Structure 1
């Protein structure tokens, strides 16, 4: 099950753990039981990749390998063991979400490149892989999806995809391109939150504004 692990698989598992933690951490404030928290974490971790695979017309990745379920279980155990510390760290959800976004963006691009799709499609698939799981998570726990708020989120994913493309054009080694692009997404997300950089909010449009 864990044989033939390459850099993309490592990033995939790290992203799974990070997104699962973010989902479980958010679920902890909703009076959800352990099993419910596991489901929220799992949906967060596999939602984007599942959507990507369905769009690509292939069997969703988690149906072919149980390690994503196991990794989510490890994330739940870690959250339970370090519950007090996680609850004290106000930025824990954001940090794990940023890491998951960066790692999953690159996984989505890599999988799409293997399918020999145009690079612009690969960037879109990277965004889908990185953001849709969070959308499912937020819908399940009755929150406005983060991607639809003013936060720099999807744009960070797209920027990381463009950086990956530039590295690819300059013929960087795949592992180097993946790490640089993932770090770009994570750093952009962290800087945007730290310095309150965000997109303008679309204000209400009605007859009184005319």
Structure 2
């Protein structure tokens, strides 16, 4: 059987995904600020793509709660809505609790080592004030049990709701408040390594519930 060649439809999908990720990350890291207007022409020039993948990405971002669109009027970066963040937080915390509970019996020594390395990188990033690196290391830490749980439904839910929380985490990780997560991460590893799936899962839930969507230093909605 001949090896399939990547077709145009697959290439278009890769382009759409790339555009989506770049705009999403620019919203999360604050490059595109809450309330900022998003113009197709400007985004097209910035990303070097046509307007079609831009519009498709904006539609996906609207579904994810990161963009607001009024047809024929404007598209803006969504203001940070405390209620929306709290709703996303509750769902995300529940998914991580489930992932850890399912993953603990299957976690290996290599998994625990990877989680500890990620937490060490997370602590270094917080110490130096590197918020982007802190978010990346936090992702690396939580990805281990999520991947080990092997539940595609959990991944799908987290893909939808985690970006909403990352905007709040960007602010939290820039302050001393975020450093309590280092100890929580260490506790998750300790409990999981001891085989206490229930306690590790509850600690993971607590870790995600420490975000405060009602903080005074959030950008105004």
TM-score by structure 2 length? 0.31
Q: Which has the higher helix share?
A: 1
Scaled by the length of structure 1, what TM-score is found?
Answer: 0.32
| Structure of higher CA gyration radius | 2
